[in-house]
Amino acid sequence: MKVFIDTNIPMYAAGKDHPFKNNCLEILEEIIAGNIEAYTDTEVLQEILYRFYHIQKREMGIQLSNYFSTIMTGAALPIQHEDMVLAISLFSKKDYEKLSPRNLIHLAVMFNHKINKIITTDQAFTSVSDIEVIHP
């Protein structure tokens, strides 16, 4: 199963007790076991680093980013110019107005790499009919 892994999965897995924590840990274990062909993008890694920078836990951000990027069975895909062109195009369409610019970048990367499934806690992705959203 080729799946895009959103930022919130490693964040909940690494975070404090939360209703999503155990399920997110299980998802990471499934990736490590090779049961999920996992992809993310470099924007997800930036989001992790930014969050830990913001809460002044830089070392934790480095550790989580390194760990998450190494367990990807697929890849941490780069953000290419064609991804940004598509994200900008999606930004102008009413069908995608519930998604933030960051989420539109993730979606563009997914579309351009023919990934039609995402594991996320972000409800905004459910408004996109072209993908399957898997909630932990």
**pLDDT, tens digit, 9 for 90 and up, residues 110-128:** 999 999 999 999 999 999 9
Domains of the chain: 2-134 (3.40.50.1010)
**pLDDT, tens digit, 9 for 90 and up, residues 76-109:** 999 999 999 999 999 999 889 999 999 999 999 9
- Are residues 126 and 96 in contact, defined by beta-carbon separation less than 8 angstroms? no
| Spatial separation of the C-alpha atoms in residues 133 and 119, rounded to whole Å | 6
Q: Is the pLDDT score of 75 beyond 90?
A: no
Rounded percentage of the chain residues whose pLDDT exceeds 90: 91
| pTM score, whole prediction | 0.93
| Spatial separation of the C-alpha atoms in residues 77 and 108, rounded to whole Å | 11
DSSP the chain: -EEEE-THHHHHHHSSS-TTHHHHHHHHHHHHTTSSEEEEEHHHHHHHHHHHHHTT-HHHHHHHHHHHHHH-SSEEE---HHHHHHHHHHHTSGGGTTS-HHHHHHHHHHHHTT--EEE-S-GGGGG-TTSEEE--
| Spatial separation of the C-alpha atoms in residues 9 and 21, rounded to whole Å | 8
State the average pLDDT for the chain: 94
